[in-house]
Amino acid sequence: MDARALKDGVVPGRLDADVLTEQFADLHAPLSDHEALVAADRCYFCHDAPCITACPTAIDIPLFIRQIATGTPEAAAKTILTQNIMGGMCARVCPTETLCEEACVREAAEGEPVQIGRLQRYATDELMSQGIHPFSRAASTGKRIAVVGAGPAGLSCAHRLAMHGHAVVVYDARPKAGGLNEYGIAAYKTTDDFAAREVDWLLQIGGITIETGQALGPDLTLEGLRGAFDAVFLGMGLGGVNELTAPGADKDGVLDAVDFIAELRQSSDLSALPVGRDVVVIGGGMTAVDAAVQSKLLGALNVTIVYRRGRDRMNASVWEQDLAAAKGVRIITNASPVAVHGNGSVREIEFEFTDDDLKPTGETFRLAADQVFKAIGQTLEGDGLPDLNGGKIAVTGAGRTSVNGVWAGGDCAAGGEDLTVTAVAEGRDAAEDIHATLMEGDNG
Ligand SMILES: Cc1cc2nc3c(=O)[nH]c(=O)nc-3n(C[C@H](O)[C@H](O)[C@H](O)COP(=O)(O)OP(=O)(O)OC[C@H]3O[C@@H](n4cnc5c(N)ncnc54)[C@H](O)[C@@H]3O)c2cc1C
Ligand code: SF4
């Protein structure tokens, strides 16, 4: 074995740059024209198609598949994008195995669904590669709307508002737009700078200004935005992370998984990114799987996910758990961290087995670790926000908050799953409600 793989500590360059390029290549190669036709041919074009109901953005899946089958992928893309303006990203990141493809009648009958996600990518990639933006703006309404957060929720809301003729200013705390599409999604799901390309493509609608480096809190207040705009949409996601309470959790090498992933996503040279030899990830969701798989791909020798409940309770889908296993990640369940050991930096982490109700069993074990990633959930940050429910912004209907003229959607809003596609749906629906409210105000 290469000595670099065995070197302990957190070091860069465990693998050569060309190997890393291969490791982080597209998880699923795009379908060729022929493969797309064959895949489309498997669709029964069901009446009352269950796949549509299972899609949070309710894309007319049989229609777009038929459009691919008849050789008009651009029309298929328009069908998709009418419902979901980030249909390109969702085609790459949606857990289709628990959404449309799980509901597909061919999954129930044969255990092999129509490849809806890959067909969606085929169509949207085709349109975007031609630089076509298939929507145009309505005449200006003279209304101005502030959107806080340039993630999937904020961008989807902004696009729909711009289409209705409103002027939108999107404020984001970070230097780049895209939210977790740019800073969070696993690198092998969105290669070739797709997140940034999709934002540029979306902005072709016109009428949207993005102001980066502007955060609600330090730079902007909700009251200020309400005074300066006709409506406000809050789509700032979940900026905080839950802390590990085990003694020793403040040692060097114990890090937030989302920070590690953001650094990886922004790195232009993965061989310069340090990673441990023995990596332990605590958590059971997508973030845990992504941190673990990407550590392994960077060249970590031993990567273990430890989750406090049983496998069936993990938020990461079975497909994602299998992906982790296929990449050589070990998953230990029913164990909670009780102490982090090491002199200054972490060397070992100690766990105690728990039953399904999280009751400690008294049986402990230790894992060697020079890096520990915490992936135990994210939290909403900020003061002066509308009323909360369960730690998120309380909403009724299409994202109306407790404050008049302020809507919210995506991860920062209560209800709904924390998925890209859900954020897009909520941003779109809030935009329709904002539009109806502002126009009703004008007509009344
Ligand atoms: C590591 C990771 C991997 C994931 N993988 C997947 C996946 O494969 N598939 C999937 O469907 N979902 C995945 N998700 C979930 C998905 O990314 C989110 O559900 C989705 O991005 C939520 O969109 P959003 O617009 O609500 O928030 P975000 O994407 O978080 O965007 C919020 C934006 O608001 C900005 N912001 C924050 N605070 C402020 C402030 N005070 N002022 C101004 N701007 C602010 C942020 O900078 C950010 O740009 C993943 C999440 C994580 C953390
Ligand atoms: S359920 Fe499957 S077969 Fe039926 S329309 Fe949807 S993708 Fe096609």
- Identify which of 265, 274, 65, 71 has the alpha carbon closest to the alpha carbon of residue 175: 265
Cβ contacts of residue 339 below 8 Å, gap of 6+?
246, 247, 248, 349, 350
Give the model's confidence band at 4: pLDDT under 50 very low, under 70 low, under 90 confident, else very high. confident
Query: What average pLDDT score do residues 160-165 get?
Result: 98
Residue 392 and residue 412 in contact, taking contact as beta carbons nearer than 8 Å:
yes
What is the pLDDT, as a whole number, of residue 441? 66
What is the pLDDT, as a whole number, of residue 416? 83
For the four alpha carbons of 199, 205, 209 and 215, in that order, the dihedral sign comes to negative
Query: What average pLDDT score do residues 114-134 get?
Result: 97
Alpha-carbon distance of 399 to 415, in angstroms, equals 10
Pocket test residue of 236, 320, 374 for ligand 1, highest count of atoms within 8 A of CB: 236
Per-residue model confidence as pLDDT tens digits over 340-350:
999 999 999 99
State the maximum Cα–Cα separation within the chain, in Å, rounded to a whole number: 75
**Ligand 2 centroid distance, CA of 338 (Å):** 47
CA 105 → CA 47, 100, 110, 112, 113, distances in Å? Answer: 11, 10, 8, 9, 7
Per-residue model confidence as pLDDT tens digits over 303-340:
999 999 999 999 999 999 999 999 999 999 999 999 99
**Ligand 2 centroid distance, CA of 52 (Å):** 8
What is the pLDDT, as a whole number, of residue 124? 98
DSSP string for 149-164:
--SHHHHHHHHHHHHT
Pocket flag, ligand 2, residue 45 (CB < 6 Å): yes
What is the pLDDT, as a whole number, of residue 444? 46
Pocket flag, ligand 1, residue 234 (CB < 6 Å): no
What predicted TM-score, i.e. pTM, was given to this entire model? Answer: 0.96
Per-residue model confidence as pLDDT tens digits over 213-270:
999 999 999 999 999 999 999 999 999 989 999 999 999 999 999 999 999 999 999 9
What is the pLDDT, as a whole number, of residue 443? 59
Which residue, judged by its Cα, is nearest atom 2 of ligand 2?
Answer: 104
Query: What average pLDDT score do residues 429-443 get?
Result: 90
Segments in 173-332 forming alpha helices (H): 180-183, 194-202, 222-228, 257-266, 286-298, 318-326
Q: Side chain identity at 345, as an amino acid letter? A: S
> Which ligand sits nearest to residue 39's alpha carbon?
2
What is the pLDDT, as a whole number, of residue 1? 66
Q: Side chain identity at 185, as an amino acid letter? A: I
Which residue, judged by its Cα, is nearest atom 19 of ligand 1?
Answer: 419
Give the model's confidence band at 7: pLDDT under 50 very low, under 70 low, under 90 confident, else very high. confident
Alpha-carbon distance of 376 to 287, in angstroms, equals 9
Cβ contacts of residue 415 below 8 Å, gap of 6+?
395
Pocket flag, ligand 2, residue 40 (CB < 6 Å): no
**Ligand 1 centroid distance, CA of 257 (Å):** 14
How many helices and strands, by DSSP H and E, does the chain display? 18, 19
Cα 441 from chain centre: 35
How confident is the prediction for the chain on average, in pLDDT? Answer: 96
User: Angle, to 10 degrees, between the axis of helix 33-40 and the axis of helix 61-69?
Assistant: 130
Which residue, judged by its Cα, is nearest atom 48 of ligand 1?
Answer: 179
Segments in 173-300 forming alpha helices (H): 180-183, 194-202, 222-228, 257-266, 286-298
What is the pLDDT, as a whole number, of residue 6? 84
Pairing of strands 144-148, 167-172: parallel
Pocket flag, ligand 2, residue 42 (CB < 6 Å): no
Pocket test residue of 176, 420, 426 for ligand 1, highest count of atoms within 8 A of CB: 420
Alpha-carbon distance of 93 to 323, in angstroms, equals 14
